[in-house]
Structure 1
């Protein structure tokens, strides 16, 4: 089995911001992860990625909040999406002046 797309969505939030959610199911886990998903989820505001969740090969599951990178404790896809969207809401609330 090769990588199978699970979902690929781009959602325009307003005229200056969008979120993108892309996930694949893999035959084997990527190095650094223990599950069989490859993903990237991003909040882009005025052309700048301000929040991102991904599992880059070798780095495992992690989150970028601005310039800060922290590990992410992956449990399942539904929780991943919920956590990401909660962080999108939090980021937008904390930066409502933009």
Structure 2
């Protein structure tokens, strides 16, 4: 089974823009244990402010400003909810 793009959104948000791409893939990207590949980013003035992604060898993680943190992936819907909550936290200064 080939990879299938489930979601691709790119739109303005706040002072910048968001881009969300989520793929259903045939096999997990280790060390992730789920069958999704994703990249979600909030960019302001050319700089990544919030980002979520997973990559082979690194697994699920998120970026808040210059800090990289582990992320516990549950589902694509939860991923998008967590991403938007972090963006709103940054916008609100939390």
- Shorter-chain TM-score bucket reads over 0.9
Q: What is the CA RMSD across the aligned residues, in angstroms? A: 1.2
Q: What stretches of structure 1 move > 4 A for 4+ residues in a row?
A: none
Map of 2:31 onto structure 1: 32
Cα distance in 2 for residues equivalent to 1:81 and 1:72: 12
Cα distance in 2 for residues equivalent to 1:13 and 1:76: 23
Structure 2: tracts of 5 or more residues without a match: none
Tell me how far 1:60 sits from its aligned partner.
0.6
Task: Name whichever structure is richer in strand by fraction.
Answer: 2
The alignment partner of 1:58 has SS state of coil
**TM-score, normalization: structure 1?**
0.91
Cα distance in 1 for residues equivalent to 2:31 and 2:68: 15
Count residues with an aligned counterpart: 94
**TM-score, normalization: structure 2?**
0.95
